[in-house]
Every structure is written in C-alpha cells, then in structure tokens.
C-alpha cells in the first residue's frame, strides 16, 4: 500500500501474467534454496521439487482463470508473443528454448544411470516381547528401568552411565548425543540422534534396552540389520551398565521416557 | 591441588565481587560458576573433572583431549609458548578440531555457555591469572595473490625443502619423514606429523591462512615449532612463508572430498590399466570413502591411521580394474616404526583380554562384495558378513605382496578361494596405490561375485596399517557403498529426445500459426486493446 | 701484500679482543664470599649408552670421524666421576636476597647434532642464546612443565641464534630437538647465581656465597637428586661430595 513502485514496474506487478511468473519463481526459490536452510531440513529431492512446482502451477492457473477479465489479461502477453511482428526474435528464442529443454529432459529420463537403491528401513521396528540377555530371559513388555526404583541412588547410577557412554558410545553418538561423533560419517545409517524428539523421547526404556543389548545384528529385516554399525552391547556391558547408560541418555538430553502406564491403560 | 585452591579463591572472589563487577567485565568470576556447570555436563567426559585431559573417553583417544592445567594450546594466534587469546579458545570450541574427536560446539551450546566455559577452563591454570603474561596476537599480513599459480607453488616448495619440513612431514608431505617415527608430544604420547594431503583434517583449519598461522605460531605442546624467529631475523620474508603455506595448501583437494554412494566404472576399449601409475587413471573419476575405527566387535580399535580411501574403477566388458589409493605413512612392516607402534599400543585403551603386542605386521586392504548381486535391499552384514551369510572379499597384503580372494564369515574367519584377482601395488612417499583386476565372470559362480553392467553392486572397504599395530579386528572400516559398471550410451537413447524435440517444435509452430491467423482476422480491435495496454 | 698484512693484524687483534671480551663476560663477577666445591662420584655399573645413528644428517655425522657418538643420559668420566650433574643452592639464602640477572647471556650451542652444554644453569631473566652451528634444521623446544615457565618451540633451519628468557625459577626445564630425537638438554633456572655443573673431571664449584647454612642439591637426569647441608662463612671453601649409584 505504502509501497510506491515506479510506473513501469507497477505495470508488471499488477499484470496477472507477470504475477503468475513471479509466484512460480518465488516458489522455486523457496523450495530449492530456502527450505534446506531451515533447521532440521535437507535438500529437497528433484522429483519432490517437480511435484511442488506442479502444484503451485495448478494453483496459479486456477487463480488467473478465476475471473474472465484476469484470464483475458493473463493471455495477452502470450498472444502478443505469438503474433506481434516486433517480438519475432523473442518468439524464435522461446520456441528454440522450449524445444531444447524438452530434449534435455527427455534425455535425462531415458538415459540409464545406476543409482544407489533406495534404503528403506523402519527406524523403530516393533520390539520383541522377550529377549535373551546373556542366556537369561528378559521380558520387555511392561519393563521399566529397574534403576529408577531407588531415586536416592540415581546420582551414583548416572556417574556410571556417563562413564559407560564416554567409553563406548561417544565415537558414534557424539559429545552432544546428537549422533554426530567423529566416527558417524563412516556409517550409514548415521547413528541415532538422542537430542531429536523422534528417538528416545518417543520410546520406552525397555525399547532402548533392547536396541542397546542386541544392536544392529538384533534388528528385524525391516530395520536393515546388515547396515547397522550398532554393536551388540550384551557382549561388552552388563545389564546394570546398560540401564545406567539409559538413565544417562535421558538425563543428559532432558527427555523423559515413554511410560507403559499410558499404553497399557489405552489398551484396556 | 593448586587448581582446587585457585577455584576456591575464584569462587570466594565471585561471592564478594559479583555485585560490583558483574556489569563491567564480560568474563566475570560469576561466569566461571555457570561455566563449570557447562564444563561438567559437556566437557568433563573427555577433558576430565580437573581439566587434566583424563576424562572417561580419553584413554581410547589419540590425539588425547587437551590437558588444561598447563595452559598449553596448539591452535593460537599468539607467539610460541604464549597463552591463547579468548578468541582463540572460542574458535577452537566453535569450530572444533578437525581430525580429532573435538566437535564444533557453535550450534550446540549458546554463546553465553561457550563464553562461560572459557572462563572456567582458564581457572585450571594459574598462568591465566598471572598478570605478567601478556597475551598479544601476532600481526598476520595478508596473503599475497597468485597463490595457486605454478610459480607460487614452486617457490613454496623450494622453502619446504630449504627449511627442512620434509624431516617430519616427508618428501611429499604425508608425514613419513625420517624423524616422524620418533615424535612425541609434551605428555610423552606418540604423535603423527600431519599428512599435508588432508587439509580438511588440520586441527586449526585447512585454509592457506590457517596454515600460515600455524607456521608462525607453531603448535604448542607438539614437535611443530614456530617459524617466526626466521622472519624476525630476516632469514625468510613474510611473502616466502605465505608461498610455503600456499604450497602446503596445494597438496590437498580444493574442498573436503564429498562422499558419493556409487562408484561409476566407465567402459573402456582395449586392455585395462593394470599398473597403478598407468596414465589412464588420471582421466578416471575418483571417489572418496571415509574409514573409521572398528568399534563394533572385540577387540575394538579406536586409533586407525587410514582415514579414507580413494577408489577408481574401469571395465572393458570382460574385466574390471579397481584402483585404491590411500595415505599410509609407513611401508609396513618397518622396524623403524616398531618403537612408535609400541607407544601407540601402550597409549590407546584396549579391550583385548591380553594386551596387544607390537609386531611387524603388513599393511592390508580389503575390498568386500556380496557373493551375488542382491535383488532387493538385503545384503550381508557390512562388517565382513556372518557365519551363515558370508561376503566375498579381495585381500591385498604388503608382505607378502599379494592378493587373495576368499569368503569372510565375520571378523574372525576368512576362507581362501582358489582364484584371486591380479594385483599391482606401489608405495610412494606415504601413499599406497593398488590396482586389482579380475574378469567380470568366473567359473565359481556360487562364491565369487559375477559382475554385471548396469547394476548397483554393494561394495565396502577395509584397511590395516601394520605399523600402527593394526591386524585382525584392529582395522579401519567402511559401510556398504555401491559399484556400477557403466555401459556406453546405446543409440536408441538419443532417439526419444529427438522425437520429443520435433514434436514440441511442430506444436509450437502450430500454436503460433493459429494465433496469428486468429489475430489477423480481428486485427482492428485486438491491436487497439494491445495499444491501450502498452501506454 | 702489505695491505693484506695489515688486514691480518687487524683480524688477529679483533679476534683476540673478542676472545678477551668473551672470557670477561663469562667470568663470574669477581666477588668476595665463600665457595662450595665438590666431586660427583659414580659407583656401580656404568650403563651402556646407545649409539646415535646420524646417517640422516651427514653434516653431523662427519663431526665424529672416530666413532659414532652415544647418547648423553649418563656420562661417566674416565676418573669414575659423573658429569652433567647440576648442583645448586636450593635453600638457605635470606628471603631478602635479590640478585639482578647478569647482562651477559648463557649460550646453548647445537653442534654436531648435540647440545653444548648438556646440563647447565641460568638466572631468571637472563638471556639464553640458542645457537645453531650446524646449519641444518633443528627445532628447540622448552617443554612446559605446568606452572612455572611458559614453553617455546622455535625452528632454526639455518645457522642462526635465537634468544629467550625464563621468568620463574625451575629445576629443570627440559630442552629437546624433535628432528633429532636423541638431542636433550637440561636447564636449571634460578633466582641466584649459586650453581655449578659437574664437568669432565666430575667437579663443580659454587662461588661468592654469603655466609650461611645452605641446602645444596645435586640433580641428575637419570639418577634423581641428592642433597647436602653446608655451612660457610667468610671467604672459606667447603667441600660437598655426592655419590650416585648406577642402577
């Protein structure tokens, strides 16, 4: 409103065709350049970019054709491009450009390149109800961290848990527990990020116990056990040490574990 | 003891003086109390509760975490032996120390937390409280231009030779100089002369400017000295030291190598380059794969020296040639490094039931493939398969110099197969270059992978540096990546784009032609409206 | 010819003068006071010192035509005494005792890929001249031992001299060259000039002491320390012998 554009620019800004072009460019910039900058985001894959752009295009077309007059004005520059004798050169360039683009896109589609197969895995596969820990059976369902039963000794357990973490987990899960230790880049999938609200924050301590005790080799197929670098910690740590390190994970990140009460009561 | 006293004094000072001084100085005593909380939570696990660099994680680390009690810091902008500035400490915390376990904390702790923790770290040493210590950053000039020109690099190289860099860093800069096996840091731990071909792992940063600064300041606590006296006494000009920095920078790639999932092996005509230094390899794209310590099965290994491997691949429709290049400062086995190996094994924590013994182990590399190209996602366990689902591996050793093929069933079991790929290897001033050649198809289709063009074939790499005590489960490992044998583009691929282009062009002409015909019919009004819009 | 001759005379005179000045600056200031001298004896088996392989440094190797040099951790003199023992007054001076640092420097020479001297003393604030006579790359590192003196590590790739000082008393500051792992020297930094080092005959002497009772410590890099209490008065000379046993 208070923005006073020079008349030449205002003519473009108010014209539905150039508005449409502007919206498309803006959408492209946002999807390709802005979204990856947002915290927790990655680069948007090409196919997804294409989908977004198609959606935006449809929206823009609905907007410009919504009213007869706007539609007519929208078509003006296109009509002019096709007919105006003084735009002959532009016409030629646009025709050649579109043709070339179509050729390139088609080539890109038919050319065969070998890409890494998609790595689809279930990040939190369903846990078993029971596991065998060093030969004795541990029932996971309904299991809570036994070290929480005595709050007065929590500090001592945390000291142990912290030591265990730094001696064993640090190279992969990192100083900040965010899965970015100095060995993390060597593995795929990258180590779990405990600071993220999608990992231990969503899980019961029994689930975490299972993942630590059995590691990558203990994953079901949907968890792609062949890729996981998570060791089978029952070979290294005692049950108590694992429960201690679980206490440390929650304490250090500030998350609280998901509890069984909720699940059990909702089932009832 | 003195530290504890210092700390109590600081605390007492804080209690007395906080109301008066809190608003005046950015790093007041009160900050050390907050800083202590940050330190205890995030730093003590490695650097220890008393700042002595002896936290729970320290015994498995080489290089060790900084011991703050002596206030000796590697990465500074001050003269050799001087204390670092707060900005120096902040930048180490912010950016981390690449190539070590120290992460970048900038995005992980708030600025206030990072500042507070600096105030606290300084309480570990009495030097920071000593007012006679003048902390003055050195004046660093500006980098002279033309740093990447052949002339600049040549000039820099001449100083590399004349001031004796090769004594530790080696003739080609991979840390294999004659003095390298004797190096220790101030705490007596073994220390490697930096591999100058991996600037992304330089502790103080890999830019030319960073290298220049390290030459001026030295890396305190390590054998790396300061070269500032040479400039002060005019044995070397500032520009010459910059040229040396530019030369060192030129040894590494422009950027940290990007890890790409798929190695593309182009198809060549004729015979494949079986020699590691065949000129063909210079024209083939190379892929970097990081390797990390084997910390999954006992006994684990926390201090591998091979940080990654460059891989190139070509095929000719009948055979595949794979070239692996990696930096390894030792041509193992090498008795000159035996004492160093012993010190490494004594320094790095081991979970072996018996302490590891230094020995004359060879260097090794393994290329791991599945036995069959998987149809779905499933493949064998990346860490050398399992008893029931083995992997097919090529294992090259430096001594005896040969390659064997076999089935690995976990880290412990390797069953040799009869046929093995051809191999040729060169060790050249701290770099191994090994070419492995095998026919795409072999008779043993049950155990040996049959290479097929146009498929994504899982592949993983492992390396052992014998002079670092690496053998068996002490090794550097990678995860699964892929190898793809590319095929020359068949002509039919070019048909569809041409057809699509012809159609588009035809359609375009038709649209224009129709629009023009219509406009011709109603030229009067249309032109009028157009003219109105134009004004 | 005559011209050359006069140049020669000037040169000879000049060098004589230099020598004289050097001798004068090195001489401890003539001062009245007591002297403590003694001998550092060595008993037991003399450890075999490893030979130093200098084949990487032909320039240094050439300086030992007779036999390859050995490491200097334990140097037992032919007369059965122990060299390189740093003997100094550890305690006993009045608290008010203050000695200004002498203006003349102490020189450490790197010659033949060895330090000369191997063990020596310096006063707080006094200049240490670090000389590279070899003309090949040496670095000289003073290791930081924690709380007393700041470390340094200087590169000397050519024939040159660097100067450093020490700000706090410290016995001993380890000096080393990392290019040549066998090169070690030990420097005792003191707030006074009452120190000496056992030489090739195993004797040392501490001169100019004010009257008093002193704790004298003898320090050796391998065999540790021993102390003796000595009381002196006037300008008398007292003897304090030490004996180190080979292990």
- Rounded CA-CA distance C131/C174 in Å is 17
Q: Are both B273 and B346 inside the same structural domain?
A: yes
On whether the CB atoms of residues B440 and B413 are closer than 8 A, the answer is no
Quick one: B244 and B175 in the same domain? Answer: yes
Helices A239-253 + A154-164 axis angle, to 10: 100
Q: What is the pLDDT along chain A (268 residues), one digit of tens a residue?
A: 455 677 778 878 888 888 888 999 999 999 888 888 877 666 777 778 888 899 999 999 998 888 888 888 888 888 888 888 888 888 889 889 999 998 888 887 777 788 888 878 888 999 999 999 999 999 999 999 999 999 999 999 999 999 999 999 999 999 999 999 999 999 999 999 999 999 999 999 999 999 999 999 999 999 999 999 999 999 999 999 999 999 999 999 999 999 886 554 444 3
Quote the number of domains for chain B.
3
Shared domain check, B267 and B238: no
Residues of C engaging B, defined by a Cβ cutoff of 8 Å: 56, 136-137, 139-147, 150-158, 160, 162, 167, 178-181
What domains lie within chain C, and their CATH numbers? 32-245 (2.60.40.420)
Can you give the pLDDT at residue B534? 36
**Residues A99, B302: C-beta atoms closer than 8 Å:** no
Asked if C160 and B230 come within 8 Å (Cβ–Cβ), the reply is yes
State whether B469 and B322 are in the same domain. Answer: yes
For residue B30, what pLDDT is reported? 63
Model pLDDT, residue B529: 37
Q: What angle do CA B135, B137, B142 make, to 5 degrees?
A: 175
Task: Give backbone dihedrals phi and psi of B22, rounded to 5 degrees, phi first.
Answer: -55, -35
Cα–Cα separations (whole angstroms), residue B301 to A162, A171, B60, C230: 21, 11, 8, 57
Instruction: Enumerate domains of chain A plus CATH numbers.
Output: 7-110 (no CATH), 130-267 (1.10.760.10)
Supply the ipTM of this predicted assembly: 0.87
Q: Output phi, psi for B212, to 5 deg.
A: -55, -45
Torsion B464-B468-B474-B477 (CA) sign? negative
Would you tell me how many other CB atoms lie within 10 Å of the CB of residue A44?
Answer: 17
Whole-angstrom Cα distance, residue B180 to residue B170? 8
- Per-residue tokens: B110: 């708030």
Alpha-carbon gap, residue A1 to B8, rounded angstroms: 63
Per-residue pLDDT at B18: 38
Angstrom distance (rounded) from CA B336 to CA B342:
12
The dihedral through the CA atoms of C127, C128, C133, C139 has a sign that is negative
Same domain membership, residue B181 and residue B32: no
User: What is the pLDDT of chain C when averaged over all its residues?
Assistant: 89
Looking at the fold, whether B227 and B271 belong to one and the same domain comes out as no
Between chain A and chain B, the number of residue pairs with CB atoms below 8 A apart is 169
Number of DSSP helices (H) and strands (E) in chain C, helices first:
2, 17
Distance between CA atoms of B355 and A260, rounded to whole angstroms? Answer: 44
Q: Which residues of B touch C55 (CB under 8 A)?
A: none
Helix (H, G, I), strand (E, B) or coil at B355: coil
Q: Is residue B535 part of a domain?
A: no
Final residue of a domain: which of B71, B96, B129? B129
B197 and B84 together in one domain: no
pTM of full prediction above 0.90: no
Q: Does A19 touch chain B (CB under 8 A)?
A: no
Asked if residue C174 has pLDDT above 90, the reply is: yes
CB B273 within 8 A of CB B281: yes
Are B349 and B300 in a shared domain? yes
One domain for residues B305 and B338: yes
Which of B485, B501, B517 is the endpoint of a domain?
Answer: B485
Q: Is A21 on the interface with B (CB under 8 A)?
A: no
Nearest to B500 among A102, A115, A226 (CB): A102
Q: Which residue did the predictor score with more confidence, B20 or C71?
A: C71
**Is there a contact between B223 and C141 if contact means CB atoms under 8 Å apart?**
yes
Residue B355 CB neighbour total at 10 angstroms: 8
Sign of CA dihedral A107, A108, A109, A115: positive
Q: Give the domain CATH number at B213.
A: 1.10.760.10
Report pLDDT for C1.
43
B349 lies in some domain? yes
- Note which residues in 235-274 of chain B have CB less than 8 A from chain A: 259, 261-262, 264
Nearest-by-Cβ selection for A167 from B57, B101, B261:
B57
Contact A166 B56 (CB under 8 A): yes
Q: Distance, in angstroms, between B68 CA and closest chain C CA?
A: 10
Q: CB–CB of B365/B402 below 8 Å?
A: no
Low-confidence winner among A240-249, C143-152, C184-193 (lowest mean pLDDT): C143-152
- Identify the bridge partners of residue B267 per DSSP, sorted by sequence position: B315
Query: Is B520 inside a domain boundary?
Result: no
| Cis amide prior to C48 (ω within 30 degrees) | no
Give yes or no: residues B395 and B270 share one domain: yes
Same domain, B241 and B267: no
Within-domain flag for B142: no
* B95 Cα to chain A: minimum distance (Å): 13
pLDDT for A70 equals: 87
pLDDT values of chain B reduced to their tens digit, one per residue, 535 residues: 444 444 444 444 444 343 333 333 445 556 899 999 999 999 999 999 999 999 999 999 999 999 999 999 999 999 999 999 999 999 999 999 999 999 999 999 999 999 999 999 999 999 999 888 889 999 998 999 888 899 999 999 999 999 999 999 999 999 999 999 999 999 999 999 999 999 999 999 999 999 999 999 999 999 999 999 999 999 999 999 999 999 999 999 999 999 999 999 999 999 999 999 999 999 999 999 999 999 999 999 999 999 999 999 999 999 999 999 999 999 999 999 999 999 999 999 998 888 899 999 999 999 999 999 999 889 999 999 999 999 999 999 999 999 999 999 999 999 999 999 999 999 999 999 999 999 999 999 999 999 999 999 999 999 999 999 999 999 999 999 999 999 887 777 788 888 889 999 999 888 888 888 887 765 544 433 333 333 3
Same domain? For B87 and B206 the reply is no
Question: Residue B170's domain spans which residues?
Answer: 150-250
Residues forming a β-bridge with B288? B310
- Predicted pLDDT at B23: 37
Instruction: Find, among B80, B140, B2, A197, the residue nearest to C144 by Cα.
Output: B80
Q: Considering only CB atoms, which chain B residues are within 8 Å of A107?
A: 493-494, 496-497
Helix (H, G, I), strand (E, B) or coil at A253: helix
């Amino acid at each position: 409103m208070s923005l006073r554009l020079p008349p030449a620019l205002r003519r473009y800004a108010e014209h539905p065709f150039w508005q449409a072009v502007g919206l498309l460019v803006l959408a492209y910039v946002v999807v390709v350049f802005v979204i990856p900058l947002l915290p927790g985001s990655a680069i948007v894959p090409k196919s997804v970019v294409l989908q977004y752009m198609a959606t935006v295009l449809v929206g823009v077309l609905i907007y410009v054709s919504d009213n007869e007059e706007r539609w007519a004005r929208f078509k003006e520059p296109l009509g002019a491009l096709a007919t105006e004798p003084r735009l002959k050169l532009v016409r030629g360039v646009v025709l050649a450009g579109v043709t070339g683009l179509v050729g390139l896109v088609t080539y890109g589609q038919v050319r065969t390149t070998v890409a890494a197969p998609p790595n689809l895995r279930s990040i939190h596969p369903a846990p078993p109800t029971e596991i065998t820990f060093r030969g004795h059976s541990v029932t996971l369902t309904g299991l809570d961290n036994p070290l929480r039963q005595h709050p007065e000794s929590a500090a001592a357990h945390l000291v142990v848990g912290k030591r265990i973490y730094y001696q064993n987990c640090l190279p992969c899960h990192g100083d900040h527990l965010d899965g970015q230790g100095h060995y993390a880049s060597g593995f795929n999938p990258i180590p779990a990020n405990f600071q993220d609200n999608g990992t231990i924050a969503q899980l019961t301590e029994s689930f975490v116990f299972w993942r630590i005790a059995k590691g990558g080799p203990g994953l079901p197929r949907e968890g792609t056990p062949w890729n996981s670098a998570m060791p089978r910690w029952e070979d290294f740590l005692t049950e108590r040490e694992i429960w201690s390190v679980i206490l440390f994970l929650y304490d250090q990140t500030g998350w609280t574990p998901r509890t069984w009460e909720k699940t059990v009561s909702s089932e009832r | 003891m003195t530290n504890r006293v210092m700390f109590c004094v600081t605390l007492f000072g804080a209690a007395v003086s906080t109301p008066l001084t809190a608003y005046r100085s950015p790093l007041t005593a009160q900050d050390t109390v907050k800083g202590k909380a940050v330190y205890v939570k995030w730093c003590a696990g490695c650097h220890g509760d008393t700042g002595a660099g002896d936290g729970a994680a320290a015994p498995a680390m080489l290089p060790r975490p900084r011991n703050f009690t002596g206030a000796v810091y590697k990465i500074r902008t001050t003269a050799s032996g001087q204390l670092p500035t707060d900005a120096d400490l902040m930048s180490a915390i912010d950016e981390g120390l690449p190539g070590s376990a120290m992460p970048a904390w900038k995005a992980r702790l708030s600025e206030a937390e990072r500042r507070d923790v600096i105030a606290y770290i300084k309480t570990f040493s009495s030097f920071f409280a000593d007012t006679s210590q003048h902390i003055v950053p050195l004046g660093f000039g500006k980098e002279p231009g033309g740093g990447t020109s052949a002339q600049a690099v040549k000039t820099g190289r001449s100083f590399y030779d004349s001031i004796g860099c090769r004594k530790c860093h080696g003739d080609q800069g991979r840390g294999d100089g004659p003095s390298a096996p004797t190096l220790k840091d101030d705490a007596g731990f073994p220390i490697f002369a930096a591999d100058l071909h991996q600037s992304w792992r330089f502790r103080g940063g890999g830019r030319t400017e960073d290298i220049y600064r390290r030459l001026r300041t030295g890396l305190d606590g390590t054998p790396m000295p300061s070269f500032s006296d040479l400039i002060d006494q005019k044995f070397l000009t500032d520009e010459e030291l910059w040229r040396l920095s530019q030369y060192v920078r030129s040894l590494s790639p422009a950027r940290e190598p990007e890890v790409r999932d798929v190695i593309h092996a182009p198809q060549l005509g004729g015979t494949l380059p079986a020699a590691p230094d065949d000129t063909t390899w210079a024209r083939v794209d190379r892929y970097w794969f990081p390797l990390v310590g084997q910390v999954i099965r006992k006994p684990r290994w926390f201090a591998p020296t091979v940080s990654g491997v460059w891989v190139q691949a070509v095929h000719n429709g009948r055979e595949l040639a794979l070239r692996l290049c990696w930096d390894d400062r030792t041509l193992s086995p090498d008795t000159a490094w035996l004492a160093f190996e012993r010190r490494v094994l004594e320094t790095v924590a081991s979970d072996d039931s018996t302490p590891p013994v230094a020995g004359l182990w060879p260097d090794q590399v393994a290329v791991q493939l599945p036995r069959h190209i998987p149809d779905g996602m499933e493949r064998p366990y990346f860490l050398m398969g399992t008893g029931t689902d083995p992997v097919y591996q090529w294992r090259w050793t430096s001594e005896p110099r040969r390659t064997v093929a076999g089935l690995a069933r976990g880290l412990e079991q390797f069953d040799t197969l009869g046929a093995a790929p051809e191999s040729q290897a060169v060790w050249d001033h701290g770099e191994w270059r090994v070419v492995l050649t095998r026919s795409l198809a072999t008779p043993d289709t049950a155990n040996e992978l049959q290479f097929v063009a146009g498929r994504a074939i899982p592949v993983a790499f492992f390396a052992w540096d014998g002079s670092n005590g690496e053998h068996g489960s002490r090794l550097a490992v990678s995860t699964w990546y892929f190898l793809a044998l590319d095929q020359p583009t068949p002509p039919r691929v070019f048909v569809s784009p041409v057809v699509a282009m012809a159609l588009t062009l035809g359609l375009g002409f038709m649209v224009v032609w129709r629009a023009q015909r219509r406009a011709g019919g109603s030229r009067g009004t249309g032109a009028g409206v157009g003219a109105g819009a134009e004004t | 010819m005559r011209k050359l001759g006069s140049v020669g005379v000037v040169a000879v005179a000049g060098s004589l003068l230099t020598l004289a000045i050097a001798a004068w600056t090195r001489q401890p200031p003539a001062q009245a006071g007591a002297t403590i001298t003694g001998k550092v004896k060595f008993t037991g088996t003399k450890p075999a010192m490893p030979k130093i392989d200098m084949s990487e440094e032909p320039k240094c190797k050439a300086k030992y035509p007779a036999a390859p040099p050995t490491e200097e951790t334990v140097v037992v003199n032919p007369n059965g005494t122990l060299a390189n023992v740093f003997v100094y007054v550890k305690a006993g001076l009045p608290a008010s005792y203050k000695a200004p640092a002498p203006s003349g420097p102490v020189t450490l020479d790197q010659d033949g890929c060895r330090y000369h001297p191997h063990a020596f003393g310096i006063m707080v604030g006094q200049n240490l001249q670090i000389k590279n006579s070899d003309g090949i790359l040496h670095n000289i590192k003073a290791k930081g031992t924690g709380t007393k003196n700041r470390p340094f590590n200087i590169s000397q790739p050519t024939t040159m001299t660097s100067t450093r000082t020490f700000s706090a008393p410290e016995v001993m500051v380890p000096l080393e060259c990392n290019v040549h792992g066998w090169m070690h020297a030990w420097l005792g930094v003191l707030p006074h000039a009452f120190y000496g080092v056992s030489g090739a005959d195993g004797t040392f002497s501490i001169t100019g002491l004010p009257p008093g009772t002193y704790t004298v410590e003898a320090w050796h890099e391998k065999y540790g320390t021993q102390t003796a209490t000595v009381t002196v008065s006037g300008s008398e000379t007292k003897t304090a012998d030490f004996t180190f046993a080979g292990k």
